[in-house]
Structure 1
Amino acid sequence: MSNMAGEQHLLSTEIVNRGIESSGPDAGSLTFSVRVRRRLPDFVQSVNLKYVKLGYHYLINHGIYLATIPLLVLVFSAEVGSLSREELWRKIWDSTTRYDLATVLAFLGVFVFTLSVYFMSRPRPIYLLDFACFKPDDELKVTKDQFIEHARKSGKFEEPSLEFMKRIVDSSGMGDETYVPRSIAAPENTATMKEGRDEASTVMFGALDELFEKSRIRPKDVGILVVNCSIFNPTPSLSAMIINHYKMRGNILSFNLGGMGCSAGIIGLDLARDMLQANPNNYAVVVSTEMVAYNWYPGKERSMLIPNCFFRMGCSAVLLSNRRRDYRRAKYRLEHIVRTHKGADDRSFRSVYQEEDSQKFKGLRISKDLAEIGGDALKTNITTLGPLVLPFSEQLIFFATLIWRHMFGGGSKGDQAPTHPKPYIPDYKLAFEHFCVHAASKTVLNELQRNLELSEKNMEPSRATLHRFGNISSSSIWYELAYLEAKEKVKRGDRIWQLTFGSGFKCNSAVWKSVRRVKRPSRNNPWLDCLERYPQQEI
């Protein structure tokens, strides 16, 4: 009974009237069907204390010097709190005249040395100078009906599969202006190296051309290049394609990340940050994309047809710098990255799994438990992130109620199951001004909004991106940030939370702080031609 109660919040039921039975022993009677839908777990139901401790461990590792401030305040207060102003000045004068010049110089030397060690040991600030989001040509734009017609024209799908995909697309939250490659309507196989390279060169070079134009950085100035694409991984690599196309320098540090899902954009960002910390006075470019045609599944299995319905063309390119003099022209400073990996659990590992079906067609199989698995990874990630970003008042209330719950909330009454007081869930809206949540689907965004208690305004960039561009995998968080910039919502000092999740199963967070007010760009922004239509009430 207790197990059933624990699982109840993961499910939602819907009773559907199917009409009157026409034959059989129940002829003439009403018939009903019950649909059971899995939901993200409520974060308020259980919070693992070890992830709270992990968050504080990150905080201590990255800011242990903060612990010395209260100590110095206490010591200084105890020393001078009981003294009058005249006594304080007399005490300072007596202490300075008591020591000779050598002692004073030695003290100053130790002070300067300690201060130098502190500043030298601090990690270099990582600045985001600019970024670009690729916008395909209008001839690749499709409505939802046109998308189904393209699939029908290819001759690869039977009518039940087409009907299933139509239902998914209609309820996905996507609009009628997303982009797909021409090849998906072709009867030939689209998962070829030629098609993959053609699409990769279109989206990657389009985003990079725009980035270099906006930032006025030459390709030869880039010292670090990170490319992430999950499904399409040719030889030579995608990073090598970019180096060859732009004739980049021979000592560039290049990396190509494959198979890491929709959360790979922040993984690439984390790798670029580490490389910038180890290589001073440098620029890094992170390219995030996915190849739609190469991932096109032509089979019958419904769990493998779902990716066909959601993924669309897109690519982002981000320029980072560790040069302190770039502060004046930077847009954002990287504050935190927190990564969570649930791959040790077999169910999480197989939740998004590439394999062949019974007909030997290759595709991505989506587990029916994906919502539950994703919710668990998300809960772990935000619990770890909390101590790094939440105001002290929120942390204090949260930690106190959590300890109270673990120590005194386990009592039971008679035959009833143990009752646990609901823990206090911090208000993340106090930690961030803007939210860029990976636009996976309408259902996922609804559940995230419910669990994190976010407003429609908080979810506006994610819903607009899903509606206008679809699920564009790891690049979606940058289209969302471009939306915020186009709306001129980013002010100096604003904090932006980018949240992604993907196969493995992984959930990753990146936190940025705006170093200046970002004005609406006059060009090179994918939202400029449709900005007045958003937000839309129906999305």
Structure 2
Amino acid sequence: MKLQVNIQILQLSFLALLFFTPLLHKTISSAPFAAVLHLLSANLRLSLSCTICTFISIFYYFYTRPSQVYMLNYTCYKPPPHRKCSYQVAENFVSRNAQFTEKTLDFMRNIYLKSGLGDETYGPAFIFEEDGVPTLNYAMQEAEEGIFSSIDALLLKTLIDPQSIDIVIVTSGSFSPTPSLSSLILNHYILKPDVKTYNLSGMGCSSGVISMDFAAEILRSSRKIQNVLVVVTESITLNWYSGDNRPMLVTNCIFRVGCAAALITNDPSHRRVAKMELVDSLRTHDGADDGAYRAAFQEEDEKGINGISLTKDLIRVAGMSLRKHIKILAPRVLPLSQIVHYAYSVVSAKFWGDESKPIVPDFKTAFEHICIHTGGRAVIENVARVLKLDDEVIEPARMTLNRFGNTSSSLVFYELAYFEAKKRAKMGDRMWMLAFGTGFKVGSLVWKWLQNSSQEFDNPWNDCIQNYPLKT
């Protein structure tokens, strides 16, 4: 896109040069003082033409360049303390569920203990009730609590009038009620009637990054000043699995309640108060490959019970998709020295018989901070292995998994809040958000911090950040 704009600018400049040079020559020749003016050198006339062309080019560039996209602020939902889902709470709930066999219970215990989740994560309301049945009413309660709490805190922090919201994007990994969740928001906050609403569903854990990218595409392509409300949520309630298919039981053990909201704008006057500027974004999709397509799949088991199957192939697929993703992203974000080094290793391996694999570029040279997908301990470790990241870099992902679990689409926002609670991000720092999703998809957002990070009143880490990182 940038290359195309530059070519258009050069073409326009050249045409202007051809047009204005003869025109200036004719004007000068017909002037009363032609004899004096003819003494002006051709270089001066050319300079005048170039000046005019430069002015036109600059005007054209600023008029046609994409709008800058800013995140005014964001917020993460923190459920009340009585919704904490410790190991003992989870054990008590599944133990009184007559549908689970002892062998199934042992499998879930084993998965839970290896998951990397701690005792401070949050579960949906139904597991704390005597009947323990995941009904639609409980699902709507989960959605409303997370969505309304997040938006209320966001509006309070940004002081944005709901009537100034032009677009609402709501994403949920799988929960899509009727009326839609965006209609729920419009009705609750009495938004203006011409607000545009979008509902994204079935995107899995990558949908938070995808929805932000979608908002940015809308804002970049518009010359009109607009504000976009992005809400990312999930329904643990309706994704609870009560069968004995092992790949489907994994979701019961690692997914937890979470929701986040963000306000995105292309208003340049808000740059001074915005938290971050979106520098780049990338989405890749490997759905054409059958293995990737079915690595995380919602279907019925042999007894007709609906569930989301997370196969053993998921980690391999995530690594394969990540490698393809960074091949596209790397040239756009890495410094030239890293690109040259990587290119040399590729040429050596292919043409000169070097048996070693091409090196993995050092992404720490491109980013001061990295928000890694907190899908599970194995996922975090695999990303660290592929990207050659040390324990310090993956610390926020591991701690977020321990404190909040896998919150699906909103997971990168809880990790972002960890950086802020630790006050690690400084003005000018670059941050990479990386998330995976069903399909199989990989999404990246590249941010630039416009101000120093701060621990705000609604940061979900406020009451416990002093305990992290954990020593073991």
TM-score normalized by the length of structure 2? 0.90
Residue number among 296, 304, 323 corresponding to 1:379 in the alignment: 323
Output the CA distance in 2 between the equivalents of 1:66 and 1:377: 37
Residue number among 126, 132, 154 corresponding to 2:97 in the alignment: 154
Aligned residues of 1:264 and 1:474 also touching (Cα < 8 A):
yes
Aligned counterpart, 1:463: 398
Q: Any idea what the Cα deviations from partners look like across 1:333-363, whole Å, max 9, x if unmatched?
A: 1011111100011111111111111221110
Aligned counterpart, 1:423: 358
Output the CA distance in 2 between the equivalents of 1:455 and 1:66: 44
1:192 and 1:109, CA in 2 relative to 1: closer, same or farther beyond 3 A?
same
Which letter does structure 2 place at the counterpart of 1:494?
D
Aligned counterpart, 2:196: 253
Structure 2 residue 396 is the aligned partner of structure 1 residue 479: no
Deviation of 1:518 (Å): 2.0
1:141 and 1:64, CA in 2 relative to 1: closer, same or farther beyond 3 A?
farther
Structure 2 residue 338 is the aligned partner of structure 1 residue 394: yes
Q: Any idea what the Cα deviations from partners look like across 1:159-215, whole Å, max 9, x if unmatched?
A: 211111111111110100110013135575744332221111011111111111111
1:156 and 1:64, CA in 2 relative to 1: closer, same or farther beyond 3 A?
farther
Aligned counterpart, 2:56: 113
Aligned counterpart, 1:72: none
Output the CA distance in 2 between the equivalents of 1:137 and 1:529: 12
Aligned residues of 1:333 and 1:513 also touching (Cα < 8 A):
yes
Output the CA distance in 2 between the equivalents of 1:153 and 1:308: 15
Aligned residues of 2:342 and 2:360 also touching (Cα < 8 A):
yes
Aligned counterpart, 1:123: 66
Q: Any idea what the Cα deviations from partners look like across 1:398-436, whole Å, max 9, x if unmatched?
A: 112212222222xxxxxxxxx733212211110110010
Structure 2 residue 356 is the aligned partner of structure 1 residue 403: no
Matches within 5 A, 1:80-99: 97-99=40-42
Deviation of 1:442 (Å): 1.1
Aligned residues of 1:154 and 1:184 also touching (Cα < 8 A):
no
Residue number among 349, 359, 363 corresponding to 2:293 in the alignment: 349
1:110 and 1:59, CA in 2 relative to 1: closer, same or farther beyond 3 A?
closer
Residue number among 285, 300, 306 corresponding to 2:244 in the alignment: 300
Structure 2 residue 141 is the aligned partner of structure 1 residue 198: yes
Aligned residues of 2:295 and 2:311 also touching (Cα < 8 A):
yes
Residue 179 of structure 2: SS of its match in structure 1? coil
Q: Any idea what the Cα deviations from partners look like across 1:5-30, whole Å, max 9, x if unmatched?
A: xxxxxxxxxxxxxxxxxxxxxxxxxx
Structure 2 residue 380 is the aligned partner of structure 1 residue 445: yes
Residue 179 of structure 1: SS of its match in structure 2? coil
Residue number among 189, 213, 228 corresponding to 1:284 in the alignment: 228
Output the CA distance in 1 between the equivalents of 2:4 and 2:453: 32
Residue 328 of structure 1: SS of its match in structure 2? coil
1:405 and 1:377, CA in 2 relative to 1: closer, same or farther beyond 3 A?
same
Q: Any idea what the Cα deviations from partners look like across 1:136-159, whole Å, max 9, x if unmatched?
A: 000101211221211222333222
Aligned residues of 1:334 and 1:512 also touching (Cα < 8 A):
yes
1:112 and 1:67, CA in 2 relative to 1: closer, same or farther beyond 3 A?
closer
Deviation of 1:118 (Å): 1.3
Output the CA distance in 2 between the equivalents of 1:535 and 1:137: 23
Output the CA distance in 2 between the equivalents of 1:242 and 1:362: 28
Which letter does structure 2 place at the counterpart of 1:115?
I
Residue 496 of structure 1: SS of its match in structure 2? strand
Q: Any idea what the Cα deviations from partners look like across 1:477-528, whole Å, max 9, x if unmatched?
A: 011111101111010110100000011001111100111212332x111001
Aligned counterpart, 2:112: 169
Which letter does structure 1 place at the counterpart of 2:145?
T
Structure 2 residue 276 is the aligned partner of structure 1 residue 332: yes
Aligned residues of 1:154 and 1:186 also touching (Cα < 8 A):
no
Deviation of 1:275 (Å): 1.4
Aligned residues of 2:360 and 2:388 also touching (Cα < 8 A):
no
Aligned-residue identity in percent: 38
Aligned residues of 1:190 and 1:296 also touching (Cα < 8 A):
no
Output the CA distance in 2 between the equivalents of 1:190 and 1:120: 57
Output the CA distance in 2 between the equivalents of 1:219 and 1:98: 62
Aligned residues of 2:9 and 2:61 also touching (Cα < 8 A):
no
Output the CA distance in 2 between the equivalents of 1:65 and 1:316: 41
Residue 117 of structure 2: SS of its match in structure 1? coil
1:185 and 1:125, CA in 2 relative to 1: closer, same or farther beyond 3 A?
same
Aligned counterpart, 1:132: 75
Gaps of 5+ in 2: 12-38
Which letter does structure 2 place at the counterpart of 1:499?
L
Residue 272 of structure 2: SS of its match in structure 1? helix
Output the CA distance in 1 between the equivalents of 2:171 and 2:262: 12
Residue 443 of structure 2: SS of its match in structure 1? strand
Output the CA distance in 1 between the equivalents of 2:47 and 2:10: 27
Q: Any idea what the Cα deviations from partners look like across 1:44-80, whole Å, max 9, x if unmatched?
A: xxxxxxxxxxxxxx88568879999xxxxxxxxxxxx
Q: Pick which of 360-369 and 183-192 moved more.
A: 183-192
Aligned residues of 1:296 and 1:308 also touching (Cα < 8 A):
yes
Output the CA distance in 1 between the equivalents of 2:461 and 2:3: 40
Aligned residues of 2:455 and 2:462 also touching (Cα < 8 A):
no
Residue 226 of structure 1: SS of its match in structure 2? strand
Q: Any idea what the Cα deviations from partners look like across 1:289-314, whole Å, max 9, x if unmatched?
A: 11111110011111110001010000
1:110 and 1:442, CA in 2 relative to 1: closer, same or farther beyond 3 A?
same
Residue number among 488, 491, 498 corresponding to 2:426 in the alignment: 491
Aligned residues of 2:315 and 2:382 also touching (Cα < 8 A):
no
TM-score normalized by the length of structure 1? 0.79
Matches within 5 A, 1:224-239: 224-239=167-182
Residue 178 of structure 1: SS of its match in structure 2? coil
Matches within 5 A, 1:519-538: 519-521=454-456, 523-538=457-472
Deviation of 1:244 (Å): 0.7
Output the CA distance in 1 between the equivalents of 2:54 and 2:9: 17
